[in-house]
Amino acid sequence: MALIGEADWTNGTLSTPNVPIEELKPLTGGPEGHKIWKSNNPEVIKGDGWLMQNARPGNRGSSRFNDLSGTFGIYLFHINKSLGTKYLHVLVTNPQNNAITLNGKGSMFTNAAHPLQGRGTGLNYMVSRNWLDDTHRIEFQNMTLDSGKAYTVDQFTLSNGTMIDGRFELTASAGVFVYTVVTSTGNLIDAINASQGGPAAGDIFSPGPNKFGREAGICGSSIWAGKTQIEVPTASAHLGLCLNTSNKFAPNLQDQTAGFLMRLSDSADRTNANYGHKYDVTLELRNPSNTVRKVRLSFASNLTNPQNRPSFTYNGPIQVNNNVKDIFTTPADPTELLDTFTINASTSLSVRLQFFIPGLITIGQQLLLESI
């Protein structure tokens, strides 16, 4: 674990809302945790069929992934623009010769029930908050799934224009297949039939030299975790740490994305923006001096724009030690105070941050520290 020393800080008071990205320091840590199955491409739904599946090779460059067992996550975000009512199904099927056991928990919401109306609102915020609080809309335990059968983890009705965001965690006693499926009826048999057919029509966003693309696949980790040791200087100074960053278009930034074990070939090859992933990071603030020091810790977006385009850059809860704070940043107002800490002489103070990245946020944030 590398130490960020006093010499790594920039002297003086910060004169801008955030630290320029070329001055950001890496955050100690790396990807870990369970696999996570992701469905976000096509983000826009225009017809019936499957959106993402790991059962078989075929359309959209899909491939079979047999080792989805034990505990794993599921994340999805979609928008219905089919001009009609659709039903979105999250299905799990058992391809084993014997019955298996499933446990699961999670939440899925729409903007119809949870419209975005500012800080602490919206479907994406609600999913992240449920996970941070460990209070879920659905939970099931020791559910037996017979060979060749399908189980509906969750299902929602989507009127035209409706957005849906969901995150689940399942534990399967043996390998399973997972599908997001769209039907016009909401009927389980129709959903199963659609899962075995072709992909749903929709807007595909593929990666490219100037594009991140959208995610559809299974990545090998769902958590970024680590501890960063930081020496606090005796004078006024500031420091920025990379948070939820990618180096695809900014080579100097730390790459905090994860790779895929399988993906649809028309979809992103990294988890850019990390929707649905958890951050669990600790800052160990060390005061080597013989005087008391104070540190102001803020959360900031790297994207700034006086016109507020897009309308917001982050909207989600963050737990700082034992306190939860709702963060809402915009391009014109990109920085929010998390807390101010006092570090006694010749002592250290640990600050633990835990949060789940909500959907619809922009990629690239920072943790801003100011010695005051």
Q: What is the pLDDT along the chain (372 residues), one digit of tens a residue?
A: 679 999 999 999 999 999 999 999 999 999 999 999 999 999 999 999 999 999 999 899 999 999 999 999 999 999 999 999 999 999 999 999 999 999 999 999 999 999 999 999 999 999 999 999 999 999 999 999 999 999 999 999 999 999 999 999 999 999 999 999 999 999 999 999 999 999 999 999 999 999 999 999 999 999 999 999 999 999 999 999 999 999 999 999 999 999 999 999 999 999 999 999 999 999 999 999 999 999 999 999 999 999 999 999 999 999 999 999 999 999 999 999 999 999 999 999 999 999 999 999 999 999 999 999
Q: Three-state DSSP class for 88?
A: strand
Q: What is the pLDDT of residue 314?
A: 98
Specify the length of the chain in residues: 372
Tell the residue number behind the tokens 């299902």, with chain if given. Answer: 155
Closest CA to 299 of 322, 326, 275, 321: 326
- For β-strands 237-243 and 365-371, DSSP reports them as antiparallel
Spatial distance between the Cα atoms of 246 and 274, rounded to a whole number of angstroms: 10
Tell the residue number behind the tokens 């899925």, with chain if given. Answer: 108
Kindly give, in sequence order, each residue whose CB lies less than 8 Å from that of residue 192, ignoring residues fewer than 6 positions away: 91, 93, 150
H helix and E strand count, the chain = 2, 25
- DSSP, res 134: T
Residues β-bridged to residue 183? 87
Say which amino acid occupies 325.
K
Closest CA to 55 of 20, 95, 24, 19: 95
Q: 288 near 346, Cβ under 8 Å?
A: yes
CA atoms within 13 A on the CB side of 112: 14
Spatial distance between the Cα atoms of 203 and 215, rounded to a whole number of angstroms: 13
Q: 233 near 6, Cβ under 8 Å?
A: yes
Query: ∠ CA 291-285-125 to the nearest 5 degrees?
Result: 135
Q: What is the pLDDT of residue 247?
A: 96
Q: What is the pLDDT of residue 2?
A: 75
Residues β-bridged to residue 287? 347
Q: Is the pTM of this model over 0.95?
A: yes
Residues β-bridged to residue 164? 78, 110
Spatial distance between the Cα atoms of 77 and 244, rounded to a whole number of angstroms: 18
Residue 13: both structure tokens together? 């008071």
Spatial distance between the Cα atoms of 114 and 166, rounded to a whole number of angstroms: 13
